């Protein structure tokens, strides 16, 4: 019995040894797992100073973001001719504001204002009218015109604005263009005029600006508008069409597309239409009544029109636009045309 037990034990030892040997052999043949070095991270020192932020400011007469220098200069207003022989006018699409007013003979004339983007030249420049002091006094800055009746010139010179008058100028700011008929040929060196008066303060904001579609707010009860038809007189009936592709109103004059000297269609981000009374104190020269007055108003922006009222406390106060439901009407950032339509005319807003 002892012998048999030893035999079985011996066999077991042999089997265990064989299995152990096989396992050792397999372990020796397996490829070892590679040991990778830790990733190398390049040492980059942190900057000791951060780059200066890009400066910007808000253009007071446009509500758009511009370089600080473009917002800090004075405004330049000029009386711009709208006679057929004065067209196309220079740089109308670079204006911040344009006021269209009734003058004698049923014609209209512009009080055009540049501040955020002053061109090299503007024109044709024409004479002053009795409502211009009321329109332009809130802006301060500079006003340029060719002359006018002595009493109207004195009214303008009584304002705080710097007056640049072609009839009195001996500094070379004005010239007559050879390619335009007189008297529709007076051109102003606009950028030089502003440079010479750079110490003047920038204008105060005239209107309240919202987003690109400011009248979408339900409180304004704005209605979709595709076209604006305005009648100043049988001789002057401008219109505006909404162009969604460019996000602007495109202007026509007496049924024909209106362009400035660049060849581009005259356009505006906003069209503000005010119904105004006319004072005939000055005979055949109409005076738009603004200071101390109020009336019906429409603001057209973003393809919509909101109704409200306008008011102007006095000559130095800006025009305030109030919605029918209360609160100040908002404009879209960009240039604005203010249509001073007489109550004898009309304003139609087509859906």
Length of the chain, please? 351
Residue 77 CB neighbours (<10 A): 31
CA distance 225 to 348: 10
CA distance 165 to 69: 26
| pLDDT tens over the chain, length 351 residues | 343 443 444 334 333 333 344 334 444 455 556 566 665 555 566 666 777 777 889 999 999 999 999 999 999 999 999 999 999 999 999 999 999 999 999 999 999 999 999 999 999 999 999 999 999 999 999 999 999 999 999 999 999 999 999 999 999 999 999 999 999 999 999 999 999 999 999 999 999 999 999 999 999 999 999 999 999 999 999 999 999 999 999 999 999 999 999 999 999 999 999 999 999 999 999 999 999 999 999 999 999 999 999 999 999 999 999 999 999 999 999 999 999 999 999 999 999
Answer for the pair 344, 222: CB distance below 8 angstroms, yes or no: no
Among 192, 186, 190, 191, CA closest to 168: 186
pTM for this entry: 0.85
The domain segmentation of the chain, as residue ranges, is: 57-350
Answer for the pair 46, 33: CB distance below 8 angstroms, yes or no: no
Answer for the pair 81, 124: CB distance below 8 angstroms, yes or no: yes
CA distance 121 to 104: 26
Sign of CA dihedral 64, 69, 74, 75: negative
Peptide bond into 138 cis (omega under 30): no
Residue 149 CB neighbours (<10 A): 14
Task: Estimate to the nearest angstrom the gap between the alpha carbon of 49 and the chain centroid.
Answer: 35
CA distance 209 to 48: 39
Rg over CA atoms, the chain: 37
Residue 40 CB neighbours (<10 A): 6
Residues whose CB is less than 8 angstroms from the CB of residue 136 and which lie 6 or more positions away in sequence, other chains included: 77, 111, 113, 143, 159, 161
User: Domain 57-350's class?
Assistant: alpha beta
CA distance 55 to 74: 19
Could you tell me if residue 133 is left (phi over 0), alpha (psi between -120 and 50 degrees) or otherwise beta?
alpha
């Amino acid at each position: 019995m002892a012998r048999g037990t030893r035999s079985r034990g011996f066999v077991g030892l042999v089997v265990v040894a064989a299995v152990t040997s096989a396992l050792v052999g397999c372990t020796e043949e397996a490829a070892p797992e590679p040991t990778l070095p830790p990733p190398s991270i390049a040492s980059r020192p942190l900057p000791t100073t951060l780059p200066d932020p890009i400066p910007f400011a808000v253009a007071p007469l446009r509500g758009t973001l511009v370089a600080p220098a473009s917002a800090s200069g004075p405004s330049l207003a000029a009386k711009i001719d709208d006679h057929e022989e004065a067209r196309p006018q220079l740089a109308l699409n670079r204006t911040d504001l344009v006021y269209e007013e009734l003058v004698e003979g049923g014609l209209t004339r512009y009080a055009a204002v540049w501040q955020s983007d002053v061109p090299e030249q503007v024109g044709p420049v024409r004479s002053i009218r009795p409502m211009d002091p009321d329109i332009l006094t809130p802006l301060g800055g500079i006003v340029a015109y060719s002359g006018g009746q002595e009493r109207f010139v004195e009214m303008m010179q009584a304002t705080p604005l710097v007056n640049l008058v072609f009839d009195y100028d001996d500094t070379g700011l004005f010239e007559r263009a050879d390619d335009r008929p007189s008297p529709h040929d007076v051109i102003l060196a606009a950028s030089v005029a502003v440079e010479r008066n750079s110490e003047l303060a920038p204008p105060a904001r005239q209107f309240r600006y919202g987003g690109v579609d400011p009248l979408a707010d339900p409180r304004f009860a704005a209605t979709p508008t595709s076209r604006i038809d305005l009648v100043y007189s049988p001789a002057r009936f401008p219109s505006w069409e909404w162009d969604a592709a460019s996000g602007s109103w495109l202007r026509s004059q007496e049924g024909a597309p209106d362009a400035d000297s660049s060849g581009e269609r005259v356009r505006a981000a906003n069209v503000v239409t005010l119904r105004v009374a006319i004072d005939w104190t000055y005979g055949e020269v109409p005076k738009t009544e603004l200071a101390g007055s109020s009336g019906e108003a429409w603001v057209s922006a973003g393809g919509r029109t909101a109704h409200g009222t306008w008011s102007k406390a006095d000559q130095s106060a800006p025009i305030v636009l109030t919605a029918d439901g209360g609160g100040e009407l908002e404009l879209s950032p960009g240039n604005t045309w203010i249509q001073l339509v007489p109550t004898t005319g009309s304003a139609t807003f087509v859906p």
